[in-house]
Amino acid sequence: MKKVYNFNAGPAALPKEVLEKAQHEFLNYRGTGLSVMELSHRSKHYEAIQEKAMQLLRALMRIPEDYEILFMQGGASLQFTTIPSNFLTGDKIANYCLTGSWSEKALKEASRVGRTHIASSSKINNYTFIPENLTLSDKPAYVHLTSNNTIFGTQWQSFPTLPQSVPLIADMSSDILSKQIELEKFSLIYAGAQKNLGPSGVTVVIIKKDLLDTCPEPLPTMLNYQTYATNKSLYNTPPTYSIYMLSLVLEWVENQGGIKEIEKRNTEKANRLYHTIDSSHGFYNGPSQTNSRSKMNVVFTLPTEKLTLSFLKQADEKGFVGLAGHRLIGGCRASIYNAVSLADCEELASFMEKFRTDSI
């Protein structure tokens, strides 16, 4: 089989070792004679899988005991609704940092639930940087930010410190587990799994217990975070296979040396590609400002549409998959999540350098 370099934005590359282990266990999970997909979610075998995924995540991210880990469904997009449904109550105002399309979508859903305020925005600059100074409204219910902007290729480099009474909430769908973070700054973190955590289907939520205590009783059962917390995320049938895959990915991260080692590799990978862009004498152009660059999604353009199409065609022929930019902004994007190796990034960088010299 031809070597494929997977730079998809999500669903994205998974570690080969994880896929091999899943393949090995596919038909007969640890002597049960059943596939994980066939296990009852009430069986001890499945409960052990889910428990292990939660324990590994807690250990890897150093999640303190005053936070709950929840496994939910509906993707990050349903969190856009669930968050304001739980926390935008009374006369409070939800504050949003607008740094790209996903934060716009999160804001749109909150404004269906209650009053909202834009605490910061780089929209007029085409979302090319992260504005780190916030202006909060009166009575803020919470502040919501998108830690990594998958489409525009920008990433928060450090997170704001808010007054203690204001919960900080982050959509970390595209950079969770990619670097060490000061978890204590956040009251709620959420992420769809399909970039750094596993396949799609499960949404991970990490929520501080004091915020959880404020969820209002009358909410529909499946929209209330309490339902998941009090039932160990087993109130109804969870996405069992996705959670199994998540546990394998977490085990893989642990075997690699944990988040510290992963972060080091991610920095090297991103540096290699940004160096290729910066040393291309303007042939490749990275629209995001240097101090806001994403280490997960490297966005770049070529001088003309014709060259872009030719680049993508040749890349495809060489086995580089998923390099077209998001349909909203065009250009190119290399998504280099945890499972993409430095060697793969080096191959891409060499291809980019060769394409440039062949084209000038």
Ligand X SMILES: Cc1ncc(COP(=O)(O)O)c(C=O)c1O
Binding residues for ligand X, per CB under 6 A? 10, 75-77, 102, 146, 150, 171, 173-174, 192
Query: Hey, which residues does 256 pair with through a beta bridge?
Result: none
CA distances 69 to 27, 48, 166, 242, Å, are 29, 15, 21, 16
Half-sphere exposure of 310 (CA within 13 A, CB side): 11
Task: Please state whether beta strands 332-335 and 297-300 pair in parallel, antiparallel, or not at all (unpaired).
Answer: antiparallel
Least Cβ distance, residue 72 to ligand X (angstroms):
11
Nearer to ligand X, 84 or 356 (CB): 84
CB of 77 to ligand X, least distance (A): 3
In order, the DSSP letters of 188-244 are EEEEESTTTTSSTT-EEEEEEHHHHTT--TTS-GGG-HHHHHHTTT-SS---HHHHH
> Would you say 232 or 326 has its CB closer to ligand X?
326
Phi, psi for 69 (deg, rounded to 5): -105, 130
d(CA 231, CA 346): 46
Closest contact distance (angstroms) between CB of 106 and ligand X is 8
Which listed residue (102, 179, 208, 252) is catalytic? 102
What are the structure tokens assigned to 53, written together? 């995924």
Which residue lies nearer to ligand X by CB, 171 or 344? 171
Tell the burial category of 58 from Cβ atoms under 10 Å away from its Cβ (0-12, 13-18, 19+).
middle
Q: Which is the catalytic residue, given 171, 175, 179, 252? A: 171
The CA R_g of the chain, rounded to the nearest whole Å, is 21
Least distance to ligand X, CB of residue 189, Å = 12
- Determine whether 102 is an active site residue: yes
Residue of 156, 175, 179, 195 marked active site: 195
Tell me whether residue 195 is one of the annotated catalytic residues: yes
- State in angstroms the smallest separation of the CB of 10 from ligand X: 5
Q: How far is the CB of 210 from ligand X (least distance, A)?
A: 25
Beta strands in the chain (DSSP E): 5-6, 67-72, 93-98, 115-121, 140-146, 148-149, 154-155, 168-171, 188-192, 203-208, 297-300, 320-321, 332-335
Cβ-based nearer residue to ligand X, 307 or 321? 321
**CA atoms of 11 and 244, how far apart (whole Å):** 16
Q: Which is nearer to ligand X, 102 or 186 (CB)?
A: 102
CB nearer ligand X, residue 203 or residue 276: 203
Q: Per the structure block, which two tokens stand in for 191?
A: 């992420």
The residues that are catalytic are 102, 171, 195
